[in-house]
Amino acid sequence: MAKLGPVRFLAGLAGLAGLVSALAVAAPASADEPRGVAEPILFSEPAEITQVADAVDGDDPFDLLLTAGLVQTWKTAQIRRETSITQDGLSSGGFTSRALNVAEYTESTSRLNTRADIGLYKDLALVLRLPIILSNDRELASVKGSGAMQTVTLAGAPGEQLFSLPFKSPTRSGIEYLAVGLDVGILNQARDYTKPTWVFGAEGRFDVAEPMRACKESTQGLNLNSQQQKCANPSDVNRDGVADKPAVANAVPLEGSFAGGRAPGVSRGTTGLEVHTYLSKRVKYIEPYGGFTALFEFANDSSEYGASRNLKGVLVNHPPLQGSMIVGINVIPWEARGDFQRLTFDFRSTGTYVSEGRDYTELFDALGSSDAPSLRNPNFAGYMANPAFPGTSPDPSIIDPNSTKVYSEGLSDTQQYAEMKLTSQFTWQPGQYVKFNLGGGLKLTQSHLITYDQACATGQSNTVAEAGPCRSQSGGAFTASGVPNPHFRRVIDDPGSRFLVDGSHSFDAWLNVVLML
């Protein structure tokens, strides 16, 4: 996707949404025009997006919609890195380029979506969803000769290589999350044809499975003289199943359940709150619609977020926030209400803004399972006054060995970016109690940095003794300029060494079966 500013990107969609809404609200007379003799009586049910199960509604005392669907997703992306190498196509004149090819990322996900919509009252429904990931496979492969240049493209500290290509993650499977929500229709065109159908809803997403852990399928690039773990604990510096406890003579082996280590996990390790509102208006055989959604995620202490997210100096300690705007049109070429039969085609575009946040990126497994000392060794969360200053040492601040150790677990700070998704869906309802949805979608993701952290939290006050590297010197006097960020890793977060995702796109295909009881 072109480097499109998120504000301009969403502003364009906002204009389109306004046009659709204006057409929908301005056309009530068309719905009330006299019906021709050959015209069928139209369904009262709105488009799929604004449909709400209800109860105690005339001769329909109860609604129950049960949905089971299979979704397949294929994703590809180019992983690049900043570089100052003077070479055609990279950089010249001392400028930093983002064109260094690192790897091609591929991901394939098979997901079973299960859903129950239970009518509670008129235009009020309880919604239960349980997405189950049947398989999730991720892989990094060399691209355009990058495999022969791994010592350059994947360089860490002097003499280090962060990971090796090809890189394959273990197959993940399990429950993605449990969602419990409510949908309410505050307006319903079937009750008043002069009004559109307008739905508000919210759902909580609860983590009920093992959170994702950084793993590698192969032991390529590891020290094979020790008992290497596929899914080592972040504090397992040597990746041999033993915790990093240098003060203890006989360290205790770490517990786990996957090949001597931890399970790779499948959930995001967060509790989410999703809110949405959709509006549609049926005009003869078309139904334009639009809406907004927002997703807020809160990290769970049991996940990789929990160990260090509340430490002083951490700049980004939360998952990204997401806001989406949806516009679309539902086309109904044929329906026969007396036989409960209908064919519809749905065409939709969704624009999403994803804020800066700490996330599971395309390099989550590769960086989190790295055996490079610059990533495996811990950062210390605190600094203290140097007892030798101003005597024999010019450094007023040194690492506090008693402060919290912060390990690299694979999560990284990601730059904000925008996504655009285009989908189409065909719905066939052959009778009163069942319907089928067949659809597909293409999503394009804006290029963005995926290792984006900063060395110092400049907005936090500190003393010179605790400032560590976040200080300046004028003459012989030192001034604190911020608080050291314990998540910062110079080999991947320093400008000139950062990784980014470019040319990312994914394709979805799905088939749903809905029982209407």
Lowest-pLDDT range, 133-142, 223-232, 347-356, 412-421?
Answer: 223-232
Residue 204 φ/ψ region, left for φ over 0, alpha for ψ in the -120 to 50 degree band, beta for the rest: beta
Is the whole-model pTM more than 0.95?
A: no
Residue corresponding to tokens 């994702």? 212
Note the pLDDT of residue 21. Answer: 44
State pLDDT tens for residues 15-67.
444 444 444 444 443 334 444 444 444 567 888 999 999 887 777 778 899 99
* Higher pLDDT pick, 157 / 84: 157
For residue 249, is pLDDT > 50? no
CA–CA separation, 102 and 152 (whole Å): 9
State pLDDT tens for residues 165-176.
999 999 999 999
| DSSP-assigned beta bridge partners for residue 183 | 125, 201
Mean pLDDT confidence for 128-142: 96
Q: What is the dihedral of CA 474, 479, 485, 490, to 10 degrees?
A: 10
Q: Which of 292, 270, 411, 416 is nearest to 354 (CA)?
A: 416
Q: Which residues of 367-376 are buried (b: 16+ CB within 10 A; e: fewer)?
A: bbbbbbebbb
What's phi and psi for 382, nearest 5 deg? -135, 160
Note the pLDDT of residue 60. Answer: 72
CA–CA separation, 123 and 271 (whole Å): 27
Q: Kindly state the tokens that stand for 173.
A: 């499977």
CA–CA separation, 186 and 29 (whole Å): 21
What's phi and psi for 417, nearest 5 deg? -160, 170
Note the pLDDT of residue 301. Answer: 86
Which residues neighbour 204 within 8 Å (Cβ) at sequence distance 6 or greater?
179, 180, 181, 271, 272, 273
Lowest-pLDDT range, 106-110, 128-132, 301-305?
Answer: 301-305
**3-class DSSP state for residue 236?**
coil
CB 489 within 8 A of CB 368: no
Note the pLDDT of residue 416. Answer: 97
Note the pLDDT of residue 359. Answer: 95
**Which band of pLDDT confidence, cut at 50, 70 and 90, is reported for residue 239?**
confident
Note the pLDDT of residue 351. Answer: 97
Note the pLDDT of residue 67. Answer: 96
State pLDDT tens for residues 292-334.
999 999 999 888 887 677 788 888 889 999 999 999 999 999 9
Q: How far is CA 293 from the centre of its chain?
A: 15
CA distances from 194 to 12, 28, 295, 337, 339 (A): 28, 5, 32, 21, 26
For residue 221, is pLDDT > 80? no
Element (H, E) at 434: strand 434-445
For residue 88, is pLDDT > 80? no
CA–CA separation, 213 and 498 (whole Å): 22
Note the pLDDT of residue 177. Answer: 96
* Higher pLDDT pick, 114 / 38: 114
Q: Which of 368, 399, 417, 373 is nearest to 466 (CA)?
A: 399
Note the pLDDT of residue 86. Answer: 52
Which residues neighbour 475 within 8 Å (Cβ) at sequence distance 6 or greater?
none
State pLDDT tens for residues 391-442.
788 888 999 999 999 999 999 999 999 999 999 999 999 998 999 999 999 9
Supply angle C-alpha 18, 20, 26, rounded to 5: 95
Q: Which of 11, 10, 80, 74 is nearest to 354 (CA)?
A: 10
CA distances from 238 to 121, 214, 224, 409 (A): 59, 15, 11, 14
Supply angle C-alpha 433, 439, 443, rounded to 5: 145
Q: What is the mean pLDDT of the chain?
A: 84
**3-class DSSP state for residue 16?**
helix
CA–CA separation, 468 and 489 (whole Å): 15
